[in-house]
């Protein structure tokens, strides 16, 4: 990991702030570009932790850039190719170096494009109740962490920061954005996932599920945006310890979530609302280590 000091929240004075997400701070660069700065913040259960995870922002950025390169022939992405350092003041370089992307400003589409190749998390819960996930009917007899017969597209409606994204059916996305665009997003997302999952598997990583975000450019072309295929937006499992029926140990935030499930504030279990419990140094270090491991294995 890089050894610059962790950045919980960026504070650029040379550009207007557009929005702060759970991890990224977005700044306007003119009216056609955005500087996306990946902070070292981490969120779990839609609550942002008070302590940063050192090196996380740079690592996510490096990983997203690598994936954009692998997938560029399937769909265009929002990278402009310009250096992020070229649009900030000299005294702000340290806040953007290695952790920022300078991207096209797009018209965002309010659909989270989720693809699942395995049954996990909320998908497994839903399957137990209804033998389906987001309206997609699945065969009987699947277990927790089962590989699905083929990947399924299970979109969600984007929520405001602090709210939970809401799982919706494909039919609902057709109502929201029209049949043509809904279909293009579904087909593109499945192709992206299939390529990424096959590539990751050769590196000993299972990508159980992931979510993509898309926007439209001025010409109405579909463009892949935000970050892509990092452990923040995907479930990464080590292939060598994968076993159907049990929750695989993951490279992503699951370790932090598991710790938080046991955490207490003032002697009571944490209620999963802000403020979050204070993360001990050991939890911060172990979380950082899992992100690092995912990157090293992927780029090896």
Which CATH number is 131's domain given? 3.30.470.20
3 state SS of 182: helix
The verdict on 34 and 154 lying in the same domain is no
The verdict on 199 and 237 lying in the same domain is yes
Q: Mean pLDDT in the chain?
A: 94
Cα–Cα distances (Å) from 57 to 70, 71, 101, 240, in that order, read: 20, 21, 11, 27
User: With 0-12 CB in 10 A as exposed, 13-18 as middle and 19+ as buried, what is 85?
Assistant: middle
CA angle 169, 170, 172 (to 5 degrees): 65
The 8-class DSSP code of residue 77 comes to B
CATH of the domain at 52: 3.30.200.20
Radius of gyration for the alpha carbons in the chain, expressed in angstroms and rounded? 19
The verdict on 161 and 183 lying in the same domain is yes
Q: Give me the pLDDT at residue 166, please.
A: 85
Does residue 297 lie within any of the structural domains? no
Instruction: Express each pLDDT in 14-36 by its tens digit.
Output: 999 999 999 999 999 999 999 99
The verdict on 126 and 26 lying in the same domain is no
Residue 196: which domain range? Answer: 107-241
User: With 0-12 CB in 10 A as exposed, 13-18 as middle and 19+ as buried, what is 107?
Assistant: exposed
From 184, 225, 183, 190, select the one nearest 210 (Cα to Cα).
190
Instruction: Express each pLDDT in 263-294 by its tens digit.
Output: 999 999 999 999 999 999 999 999 999 999 99
The residue ranges of the chain whose pLDDT is under 70 are 1-4, 160-164
Boundary-marking domain end, from 73, 105, 137: 105
CA neighbours closer than 13 Å in the CB half-sphere of residue 25: 18
The phi and psi torsions of 176 (rounded to 5 degrees) equal -75, -45
Q: Give me the pLDDT at residue 46, please.
A: 87
From 75, 71, 117, 125, select the one nearest 210 (Cα to Cα).
117
Q: Give me the pLDDT at residue 5, please.
A: 87
The verdict on 87 and 159 lying in the same domain is no
The verdict on 111 and 237 lying in the same domain is yes
Q: Give me the pLDDT at residue 36, please.
A: 98
The verdict on 118 and 219 lying in the same domain is yes
State pTM to two decimals.
Answer: 0.92
The verdict on 170 and 230 lying in the same domain is yes
From 39, 60, 42, select the one nearest 51 (Cα to Cα).
42
Q: Give me the pLDDT at residue 2, please.
A: 44
Question: In whole angstroms, what is the distance from residue 137 CA to residue 12 CA?
Answer: 48
Does residue 25 lie within any of the structural domains? yes
From 183, 17, 12, select the one nearest 90 (Cα to Cα).
12
Does residue 192 lie within any of the structural domains? yes
Boundary-marking domain end, from 241, 272, 287: 241
Sign of the Cα torsion 191, 196, 201, 202 reads: positive
Q: Give me the pLDDT at residue 1, please.
A: 46
The verdict on 149 and 217 lying in the same domain is yes
Does residue 93 lie within any of the structural domains? yes
Please identify which residue in the block is written with the tokens 């390529």. 195
Give the residue ranges of DSSP H helices in 149-206: 170-177, 179-201
Q: Give me the pLDDT at residue 161, please.
A: 59
Number of domains in the chain: 2
């Amino acid at each position: 990991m890089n050894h610059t000091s962790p950045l919980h929240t960026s504070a650029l004075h040379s550009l207007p702030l557009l929005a702060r997400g759970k991890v990224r701070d977005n700044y306007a660069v003119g009216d056609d570009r955005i500087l996306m700065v990946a902070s070292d913040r981490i969120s779990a259960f839609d609550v942002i932790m008070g302590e940063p995870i050192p090196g996380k922002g740079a690592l996510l950025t490096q990983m997203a850039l690598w994936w954009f390169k692998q997938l560029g022939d399937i769909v265009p992405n929002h990278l402009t190719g310009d250096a992020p350092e070229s649009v900030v003041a000299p005294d702000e370089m340290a806040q953007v170096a290695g952790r920022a992307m300078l991207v096209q400003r797009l018209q965002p589409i309010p659909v989270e494009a989720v693809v699942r190749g395995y049954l996990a998390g909320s998908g497994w819960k839903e399957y137990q109740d209804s033998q389906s996930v987001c309206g997609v009917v699945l065969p009987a007899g699947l277990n927790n962490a089962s590989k699905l017969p083929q990947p399924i597209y299970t979109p969600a409606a984007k929520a405001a920061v602090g709210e939970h994204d809401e799982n919706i059916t494909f039919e609902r996305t057709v109502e929201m954005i029209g049949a043509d665009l809904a279909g293009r997003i579904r087909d593109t997302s499945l192709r992206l996932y299939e390529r990424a999952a096959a590539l990751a598997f050769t590196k000993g990583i299972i990508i159980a599920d992931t979510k993509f975000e898309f926007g439209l450019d001025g010409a109405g072309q579909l463009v892949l945006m935000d970050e892509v295929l990092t452990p923040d937006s995907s479930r990464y499992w080590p292939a060598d310890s994968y076993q159907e029926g049990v929750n695989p140990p993951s490279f992503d935030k699951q370790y932090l979530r598991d710790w938080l499930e046991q955490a207490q504030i003032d002697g009571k279990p944490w209620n999963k609302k802000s403020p979050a419990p204070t993360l001990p140094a050991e939890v911060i270090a172990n979380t950082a280590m899992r992100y690092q491991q995912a990157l090293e294995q992927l780029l090896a």
